[in-house]
Copies of this chain bind each other. A is one copy, B any other.
Amino acid sequence: MTTKQEFKFASATCGLKKTKKPDLAIIYSDIPCIYSGVFTTNQIHAACVDVNKDLLKKKKRIRAIVVNSGNANACTGKKGFQAAKETQHIAAKLLKIKPDEVLVASTGAIGIHLDMDKMNNGLIQACSNLSSKNLNAAAKAILTTDQFVKIVKRKTKKFKLVGFTKGAGMIHPNMATMLCYLMTDLNISQELLQKALQTANNESFNNISVDGDMSTNDMVILISNRQSKKEIKSINDPAFINFQKVLTESCIKLAKEIVIDGEGANRLINVSVHGAKLISDAKEIARSISSSTLFKCAIYGADPNWGRAASRIGCTNVKVDPKKIDVFLNTTPVYKKGVPVTFNKPKLNKQIKKSREVKVTVNLNLGNKSASAYGCDLSYEYVKFNSAYFT
């Protein structure tokens, strides 16, 4: 039985993808929702980013999110912006809501105009098919070259949280476009919801890298219909602290799933940096290691070639003391106080070969701050995916 309080979902196949897979998803709420969002910082970004940022600025309540895959509607100029606005209008008319209650998002090839006839047909299909049971179908319709759907569901006594995301890859392989949608019933102000999302995002999606290419379309959206019983009024409220914890955990789960499902990826690279003076220092170094092309190739070959990770510690803007640095691969010390440690290479090679995750732990021994970053290996398959002719 569907109640008014439930979020509803639908998917459709417009024909934007060459493979005739679902390429349109709708998230819908009978109750107007407050909304928070974080977006790509790429100045060359898609029309949908501008449209949604504008609605966030105006603190609009929203009722629907429309996501198409197969076309990023980025680098498409004024016509692209009009297509995003038209999508809002078509969906609003079909759902009997206002256009500025509709968020829009796109993922796929860059620089190709969106086919609005196809979008129109898909929206008609989807809007007639909304149900709280279609979460999985919607999560599937936003995928491109992803191998599996990525969903999170959490329920506490005080609130519910549901979310789904997509990662790297497209049918027309292009930007590693990342989208994530989270729905909750938490009774909270828009300001606190935005704060919670920013905190969670910094600990999760902002720490992942598949190929170092910042997308034109990245966005993480969190909406709330505020139907939970007790209203949260302060960041010191234990209920807020608990929500923040669950939200961050959920975002980390989805972020790690994006990485392990990265194009051609076989292994997660989980980097922790400790002993930094600032959290931002630890994070910069963790991201430097997790995004090294050479280290990613080594991990593809299960090669315990730690020198490629160590060298990345020194090429950021963070001042380090090479003589104080320790590095571990999984639990094996490989570099202690700036000196290589003799270790059993064939054994570590075998250990890495067998596992889906490799841990790199760095201690800078300069302070007490830590941070993590997540990456994946770089394989033949990644190159194959991304060298295919896009027309």
- Chain A: residues with CB nearer than 8 A to chain B? 41-45, 72, 74-79, 109-113, 173-176, 211-216, 292-294, 297-298, 300-308, 310-315, 319-320, 322-323, 325, 334-335, 337-340, 345-346, 349, 378-380, 382-391
The answer on a CB contact under 8 Å between A315 and B42 is yes
Quote the shortest CB–CB distance from A377 to chain B (angstroms).
8
Instruction: In the A-B complex, list the 9 residue pairs whose CB atoms are closest, starting with the nearest.
Output: A110-B307, A44-B314, A301-B387, A297-B386, A43-B314, A77-B339, A345-B391, A214-B315, A111-B307
The answer on a CB contact under 8 Å between A311 and B383 is no
Instruction: Say whether chain A's binding surface is mostly helix, strand, loop, or mixed.
Output: loop
| Residues of the B chain whose Cβ atoms lie less than 8 Å from the Cβ of A78 | 339
Give Cα distance in the complex from A289 to B320, angstroms.
29
The answer on a CB contact under 8 Å between B301 and A388 is yes
| Residues of the B chain whose Cβ atoms lie less than 8 Å from the Cβ of A314 | 42-45, 216
The answer on a CB contact under 8 Å between B211 and A294 is yes
Given A307-B109, A314-B45, A340:B215 Cβ within 8 A = no
Quote the shortest CB–CB distance from A297 to chain B (angstroms).
3
From B75, B312, B383, A378 is in contact (CB under 8 Å) with: B383
Give Cα distance in the complex from A129 to B172, angstroms.
58
Quote the shortest CB–CB distance from A150 to chain B (angstroms).
21
Specify the chain B residue showing the minimal Cβ separation from A321: B43
Specify the chain B residue showing the minimal Cβ separation from A337: B77
List 19 additional contacts besides A173-B297, A303-B388; criterion CB under 8 Å.
A42-B314, A43-B322, A44-B311, A44-B320, A44-B325, A76-B340, A79-B339, A110-B308, A111-B310, A173-B294, A174-B305, A212-B292, A212-B293, A301-B388, A303-B387, A304-B391, A346-B391, A349-B391, A383-B383
